[in-house]
Amino acid sequence: MPPTGGIFPARKAIAEYLSNDLHYQLSPEDIYVTVGCKHAMEVTVKVLARPEANILLPRPGFRNYETFANLHHLEFRFFDLLPERGWEVDLDAVEAIADENTIAMVIINPGNPCGSVYSYEHLSKIAETARKLGHCFFTLGSISKRWLVPGWRLGWLATSDPTGLLRKCGIADSIKNVLGPAPLSPTFIQAAVPEILQKTTEEFFSKTIDILRAASALCYDKLKEIPSITCPQKAEGSMFVLVKLNLSLLEDIEDDMEFCLKLAKEESLVLLPGVTVGLKNWLRITFAVEQSSLEDGLGRLKSFCERHEKKP
């Protein structure tokens, strides 16, 4: 039976990996291994939840945090991400909706479903806002996308606690208590973590990035050929991009849900309607496919839009 929070070599490797971007060194005691990143989300929400508390969530964003907040009777409030500014956080809105019962705000970077990557300057502003609101910092992650092994279901929760505040106020013990009876990531996968984090070559990452960069550029260029779809910016740090529907140029389509249903029926092409991530009449497009399949899919999307264009 592995110890609560994961085996030591895995926690040590994750601490060292995350410390590369910090001005101080995380310790293995700051790391808790989870069964994928969704498990880390649930643990974080459960540990922080208390009566009358609220959590600030980005819009657009996936509904996992809402689900976990509802499960633990935690109020959630939304702040907007601004497409005209590269999906940056509306920090004025964050301060406007936060109060003394706000326990956390969720920041996702690189962004899913937006495909954005925040600048160091913007991240610094986010951190300063969090400090003003009295928030502590947690980092959630996994090996799913960066190392391309989503089926392994190994993630982590890291506490950024250089002053020891989270240990003093019992948060660290609460995390262990929540993880105690929870399912554990298989130890043979945990045992592979040091090898994965320390010995994956830069060539692996650069090849992956080159493939995604080319796919992102192709997607962006092809979407510009479709008048009824607007792409605010090229995806920079993910396998997805959010685009806006201009329904005034289309006929027989009421909203993004109907667009996606008809697209699937007529072209056998599946896109995610924006309403599922909190933005009505937007679409999320995944471009992490072979170039030929991507070109074919974007061609079908263009044909569909042309077929449903309003006639003069």
Task: Report pLDDT digits (tens) over 13-27.
Answer: 999 999 998 888 999
Q: Any idea of the CA torsion for 232, 237, 239, 245, to the nearest 10 degrees? A: -10
Of 241, 10, 9, nearest to 111 by C-alpha is 241
Residue type, 217: A
Confidence of residue 156 (pLDDT cuts 50, 70, 90): very high
- H helix runs in the chain, sequence order: 8-19, 36-48, 64-71, 91-97, 120-132, 165-168, 171-179, 187-199, 202-223, 256-267, 291-307
pLDDT per residue as tens digits for the range 66-99: 999 999 999 999 999 999 999 999 999 999 999 9
Residue 169's pLDDT band (cuts 50, 70, 90): confident
96-105, 146-155, 237-246, 261-270 — most confident range: 261-270
Confidence at residue 107, expressed as pLDDT on a 0 to 100 scale: 94
For residue 250, count CB atoms less than 10 angstroms from its CB and return exposed for 0-12, middle for 13-18, buried for 19 or more. buried
Q: How many CB atoms lie within 10 A of CB 101?
A: 12
CA-CA distance, 76 to 263, in Å (whole number)?
Answer: 33
Instruction: Give the confidence band of 163 by pLDDT, cuts at 50, 70, 90.
Output: confident
Average pLDDT, the chain: 92
CA–CA separation, 132 and 102 (whole Å): 12
Rounded to 5°, the CA angle 278-243-252 comes to: 85
Calpha distance 225→202 (Å, rounded): 35
> How does strand 102-105 pair with strand 54-59?
parallel
- pLDDT at residue 3 tops 80: no
CA 137 to chain centre: 16
pLDDT given at position 2: 62
pLDDT tier for residue 136 given thresholds of 50, 70 and 90: low
pLDDT mean over 41-50: 92
Task: Give Cα 67 distance to the centre of its chain.
Answer: 15
The whole-angstrom separation of Cα 39 and Cα 249 is 42
- pLDDT higher for 164 or 5? 5
pTM confidence score: 0.90
Q: Answer yes or no: is pLDDT of 165 > 80.
A: no
Band (pLDDT 50/70/90 cuts) for residue 162 is confident
Picking from 148, 284, 306, 131, the residue whose alpha carbon sits closest to that of residue 227 is 306
Grade residue 293 by pLDDT with cuts at 50, 70 and 90. Answer: very high
Beta-bridge partner residues of 142: 155
Model confidence band, residue 201 (pLDDT cutoffs 50, 70, 90): very high
Question: How do residues 263-281 score in pLDDT, each as one tens digit?
Answer: 999 999 999 999 999 999 9
- Which of 59-68, 175-184, 220-229 tops mean pLDDT? 220-229
Using pLDDT thresholds of 50, 70 and 90, give the confidence band for residue 1: low
Sign of CA dihedral 209, 215, 219, 221: positive
Distance CA 230, CA 226 (A): 8
Q: Is the per-residue pLDDT at 237 higher than 80?
A: yes
pLDDT bin (cut points 50, 70, 90) of residue 168 is confident
Q: How far apart are CA 124 and CA 108, in angstroms?
A: 14
